[in-house]
């Protein structure tokens, strides 16, 4: 887990300091040196417009971090409200909200994100919105399931007996106790959001040029696979590094929490 946290910290640092660390302006073109391979001046080479790939990858890190954090924040907020409402109140609220979740879940994978991105138009803000509109359902189901179990606990009965209203019950008693699996899900959710944003940009439905996005860089590099394989290699490695780090961290967090829950049961 510490390795995962270390690399995540490194990614966050690069994302924040990226523009300061970039050796060149990520938007500066040099058409005479288009498709140039890695060199002592341009460590990762140059793209078709002569822009420095390392600088664009460092700038792209900030985009990816922003997408990951904002998407998880928005979809988590929506998901917690919906899931908590459905789980605590039950009845028709639960039925209506869970049928809505089922409708969204009937759209597999990124299909809904593609549809939303097409409706909203390609831009960074709309990508985040599209991913959030797709991502809340997982959190809603998770929170609902956790609350269905937690609401039967004695501390909840005691809180109700002391006069706690529903809002207080959710905020002070239920949410803190169901936080752990939500954090695990959020870690995987961030990885998913970064890959999906890159997928949308790859398809031309996400971040638009000249803003550096790892997915768009990969898409541009596809036409020059034989001539300049570095155009696809380095952005791909960047995505792989970040997503592996988040997935590894999520795995370790889940293992830790499973061990804790087993200990508590004993």
Partner 1 sequence: MLPFRGFIKGVMVRLLIRRLLWAIPVVLGVLTLVFFLIHLIPGDPIDLMLGEQAAQADREALRKALHLDDPIPAQYGRFLSGMLRGDLGRSLRTGRPVSEMIAARYPATLQLAFSALLISLLIAVPIGIYSAVRPNTPADSGALFLSLLGVSIPNFWLGPLLILLFSIKLDWLPVSGRGGPAALILPALTLGIGMSALLIRMTRSSLLEVVRKDYVLAARAKGLPERAVILKHAFPNALIPLFTVVGLQFGALLTGSIITETIFSWPGLGRLTLQAIQSRDYPLVQGCILAISLTYLFANLLVDLLYAAADPRVRLLEE
Give least dist CB 88 to partner 1, A.
23
Distance separating alpha carbons of residues 55 and 152, to the nearest angstrom? 54
Q: Does residue number 247 form part of the binding site for partner 1 (CB under 8 A)?
A: yes
Exactly one of 183, 229, 255, 261 binds partner 1 (CB under 8 A); which one? 229
* Residue 23 C-alpha from the chain's centroid: 28
Contact assessment for residue 74 and residue 247, using Cβ atoms and an 8 Å cutoff: no
Of the pair 2, 40, the CB lying nearest partner 1 is at: 2
Give least dist CB 119 to partner 1, A.
5
- Give just the sign of the alpha carbon dihedral 96, 160, 73, 236: negative
Contact assessment for residue 216 and residue 207, using Cβ atoms and an 8 Å cutoff: yes
Give least dist CB 211 to partner 1, A.
18
Exactly one of 76, 82, 184, 218 binds partner 1 (CB under 8 A); which one? 218
Q: Does residue number 2 form part of the binding site for partner 1 (CB under 8 A)?
A: no
Q: Does residue number 244 form part of the binding site for partner 1 (CB under 8 A)?
A: yes
Q: Does residue number 99 form part of the binding site for partner 1 (CB under 8 A)?
A: yes
- Window of 24-32, 63-71, 85-93, 216-224 that interacts with partner 1 by CB under 8 A: 216-224
| Rounded alpha-carbon distances, angstroms, from residue 104 to 68, 195, 247 | 20, 20, 24
Query: Could you write out the DSSP letters of every residue in 229-249?
Result: THHHHHHHHHHHHHHHHHHHH
Token pair listed for 65:
């971090």
Of the pair 177, 233, the CB lying nearest partner 1 is at: 233
Of the pair 28, 255, the CB lying nearest partner 1 is at: 255
Quick one: which of 255, 260, 258, 263 has its CA closest to 1? 255
Q: Does residue number 140 form part of the binding site for partner 1 (CB under 8 A)?
A: no
Q: Does residue number 119 form part of the binding site for partner 1 (CB under 8 A)?
A: yes
Instruction: Examine residue 18 and say whether the peptide bond preceding it is cis (omega within 30 degrees of 0).
Output: no
HSE-up of residue 252 (Cα within 13 Å, Cβ side): 11
Of the pair 23, 121, the CB lying nearest partner 1 is at: 121
Quick one: which of 259, 260, 253 has its CA closest to 2? 253
Q: Does residue number 184 form part of the binding site for partner 1 (CB under 8 A)?
A: no
Of the pair 169, 187, the CB lying nearest partner 1 is at: 187
Q: Does residue number 139 form part of the binding site for partner 1 (CB under 8 A)?
A: no
Give least dist CB 40 to partner 1, A.
25
Token pair listed for 161:
């007996």
Distance separating alpha carbons of residues 164 and 88, to the nearest angstrom? 13
Q: Does residue number 228 form part of the binding site for partner 1 (CB under 8 A)?
A: no
- By the criterion CB under 8 A, which residues form the site for partner 1? 99-100, 102-104, 106-111, 114-116, 118-119, 121, 191, 195, 198-199, 202-205, 215, 218-219, 221-222, 225-226, 229, 232-233, 235-236, 239-240, 243-244, 247-248, 251
């Amino acid at each position: 887990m510490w390795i995962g946290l270390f690399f995540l910290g490194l990614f966050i640092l690069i994302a924040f300091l990226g523009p300061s660390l970039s050796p060149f302006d990520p938007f500066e073109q040099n058409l005479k040196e288009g498709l140039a391979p890695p060199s002592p001046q341009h460590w990762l080479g140059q793209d078709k417009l002569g822009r420095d790939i390392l600088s664009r990858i460092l700038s792209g890190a900030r985009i990816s971090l922003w997408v990951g954090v904002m998407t998880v924040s928005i979809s988590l907020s929506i998901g917690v409200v919906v899931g908590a409402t459905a789980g605590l109140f039950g009845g028709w609220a639960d039925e209506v909200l869970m049928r809505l979740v089922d409708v969204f879940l009937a759209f597999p994978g990124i299909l809904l994100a593609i549809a939303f991105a097409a409706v909203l138009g390609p831009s960074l803000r709309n990508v985040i919105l599209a991913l959030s509109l797709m991502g809340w359902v997982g959190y809603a189901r998770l929170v609902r399931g956790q609350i269905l179990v937690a609401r039967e606990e004695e501390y909840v009965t005691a809180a109700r007996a002391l006069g706690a209203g529903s809002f207080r019950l959710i905020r002070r008693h239920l949410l803190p106790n169901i936080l752990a699996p939500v954090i695990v899900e959020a870690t995987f959710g961030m990885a998913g959001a970064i890959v999906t944003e890159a997928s949308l940009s790859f398809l031309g439905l996400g971040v638009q040029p000249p803003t550096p996005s790892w997915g768009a860089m990969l898409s541009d590099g596809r036409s020059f696979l034989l001539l300049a394989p570095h155009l696809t290699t380095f952005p791909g490695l960047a995505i792989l590094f970040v997503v592996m780090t988040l997935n590894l961290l999520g795995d370790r967090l889940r293992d830790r929490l499973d061990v804790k829950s087993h200990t508590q049961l004993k």
